[in-house]
C-alpha cells in the first residue's frame, strides 16, 4: 500500500517530508542545487511547479516508493519534461531513490537527463521533453484504466506554453468525448514561455473558457497555495464523467525573488553569487 495516501496526511506522527510545505521547500533547494551543479536550464520552470509537485507526491498520488511498479498506483505524467529536475527531486525526497543520486543530474554518464526520463529512474512513468505528448499518453492510460475498471487515476502536469501544441487539444477533445473522469490535467500557468510572456507569444486567454468549452471540468487555483491545490486535486464531488483541468496560477521562479516572473530564468543557470543568494533565500 501507498505510504502517501491522502487520508494519512496530517494525521499522527509523520516524517517531515510528508508535510507538503516542507516537501516543497526541499524540492526548491534541490532544484536550485541541481541546476547549479549541472549548469542546466529551466530552474524557473521547476520552481513554479514545486508546490504542485509537493502536493502531488506528498498528498495526492497513491504511489509507493518501496514498490514503484505497484499495479494499482496512480500514474503521474510530467508533460513539461524540461522540469525533470523537479520531479527527480520530488521522487528522491519521497524515498524513490537516494537523494545522493540528484548530484548526478545533467552530468556525464548520468541517467537523470535534463528532460525527464523513465529509464532506470524508479517512479517516473513516462519520458518526455518534446511538448504536447503527455496529455495524449495520459489519456490513453486513463482510457485503459476505465475499460478495465481500475481505480487508479492519471495525472498529467503541463506547461502553459505547451498548450500551443495542437496535440494537447486533440487529447483534450478525446478525453472529454469519452468522459474520462479518472483523468486530471494540471497546467502550470506561470504566464511565461521560452522567449516571452504567454500573452505576447500566443495568447491562451480566455484559458479556462477554452477548456470548459472542450467539455472539461475546470478549477482555477493559486498554484502556490497548498490548500487551494489540494482543493483543485480533490476527488470529492467531482463529475464521474468529465476530465478535470486544474489551472494553477503560478509565478515562474517562485521562491527566489530575483528569479520570479522573469523570462531570463527559463534558461539561466544559478551560478556564483546568484546561486548563493538563491540558496540563502530558500533557507
Partner 1 sequence: MRDAFVARLTELARKDRRLMLVTGDLGFGVLTNFAKEFPQQFLNAGVSEQNMTLLATGLALGGRTVFTYSIANFPILRPLEMIRNDACYHDADVKVVGIGGGFSYGALGISHHATEDISILRSLPNMTVVVPCDLFETQEATTALARSPGTAYLRLDKSKAEPTEDVPFELGKARVLRQGADLTLVACGGIMEEVLAVHETLKSEGILTRVLSMHTVKPIDRAAIVDAANNTGGIVTVEEHTVDGGLGSAVAEVCLDEGSVPKRFARIGLRAGFSSTVGSQKYLRQVYGLDYPAILDVCRRLVRSKAIR
Single out the residue of 174, 179, 197, 230 in contact with partner 1 (rule: CB under 8 A): 174
Q: What number of H helices and E strands is found in the chain? A: 10, 5
Count of chain residues binding partner 1 (CB under 8 A):
28
* Least distance (Å) between residue 88 CB and partner 1: 18
Q: Which is nearer to partner 1, 136 or 243 (CB)?
A: 136
Residue 147 in contact with partner 1, rule: CB under 8 A: yes
194, 161 Cβ separation under 8 angstroms: yes
Q: Region of 12 please: left (phi>0), alpha (psi -120 to 50) or beta.
A: left
Q: In Å, how far from its chain's centre is CA 17?
A: 17
Q: Which is nearer to partner 1, 142 or 192 (CB)?
A: 142
Residue 132 in contact with partner 1, rule: CB under 8 A: yes
- Collapsing DSSP to helix, strand or coil, 81 comes out as helix
Going by C-alpha positions, the residue among 160, 108, 106, 111 that lies closest to residue 132 is: 160
Residue 144 in contact with partner 1, rule: CB under 8 A: yes
Single out the residue of 110, 167, 212, 262 in contact with partner 1 (rule: CB under 8 A): 167
Task: Indicate the length of the chain as a whole number.
Answer: 283
* DSSP code at position 217: E
* DSSP code at position 57: I
Q: Which is nearer to partner 1, 50 or 142 (CB)?
A: 142
Binding mask 90-129 for partner 1 (x = CB under 8 A): ----------------------------x------xxxxx
* Least distance (Å) between residue 261 CB and partner 1: 31
The torsion of the CA quartet 128, 125, 3, 175, rounded to 10 degrees, works out to 90
- List residues near partner 1 by CB under 8 A: 118, 125-130, 132-133, 135-145, 147-148, 166-167, 170-171, 173-174
Amino acid at each position: 500500500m501507498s505510504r502517501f495516501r491522502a487520508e494519512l496526511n496530517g494525521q499522527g506522527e509523520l516524517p517531515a517530508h510528508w508535510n507538503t510545505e516542507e516537501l516543497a521547500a526541499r524540492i526548491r533547494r534541490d532544484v536550485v542545487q541541481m541546476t547549479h551543479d549541472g549548469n542546466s536550464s529551466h530552474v524557473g520552470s521547476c520552481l513554479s511547479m514545486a508546490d504542485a509537485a509537493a502536493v502531488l507526491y506528498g498528498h495526492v498520488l497513491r504511489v509507493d516508493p518501496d514498490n514503484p511498479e505497484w499495479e494499482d498506483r496512480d500514474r503521474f505524467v510530467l508533460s513539461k519534461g524540461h522540469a525533470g529536475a523537479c520531479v527527480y527531486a520530488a521522487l528522491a525526497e519521497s524515498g524513490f531513490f537516494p537523494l545522493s543520486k540528484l548530484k548526478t543530474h545533467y552530468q556525464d554518464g548520468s541517467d537523470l537527463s535534463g528532460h525527464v526520463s523513465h529509464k532506470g529512474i524508479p517512479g517516473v512513468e513516462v519520458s518526455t521533453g518534446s511538448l504536447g505528448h503527455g496529455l495524449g499518453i495520459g489519456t490513453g492510460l486513463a482510457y485503459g484504466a476505465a475499460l478495465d475498471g481500475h481505480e487508479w487515476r492519471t495525472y498529467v502536469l503541463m506547461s502553459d506554453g505547451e498548450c500551443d501544441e495542437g496535440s494537447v487539444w486533440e487529447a483534450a477533445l478525446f478525453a472529454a468525448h469519452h468522459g474520462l473522469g479518472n483523468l486530471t490535467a494540471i497546467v502550470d500557468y506561470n504566464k511565461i514561455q521560452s522567449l516571452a510572456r504567454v500573452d505576447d507569444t500566443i495568447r491562451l486567454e480566455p484559458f479556462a473558457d477554452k477548456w470548459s468549452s472542450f467539455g472539461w471540468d475546470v478549477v482555477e487555483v493559486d498554484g502556490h497555495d497548498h490548500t487551494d491545490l489540494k482543493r483543485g486535486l480533490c476527488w470529492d464531488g467531482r463529475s464521474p464523467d468529465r476530465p478535470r483541468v486544474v489551472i494553477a496560477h503560478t509565478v515562474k521562479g517562485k521562491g527566489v525573488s530575483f528569479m520570479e516572473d522573469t523570462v531570463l530564468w527559463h534558461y539561466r543557470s544559478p551560478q556564483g553569487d546568484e546561486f548563493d543568494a538563491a540558496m540563502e533565500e530558500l533557507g
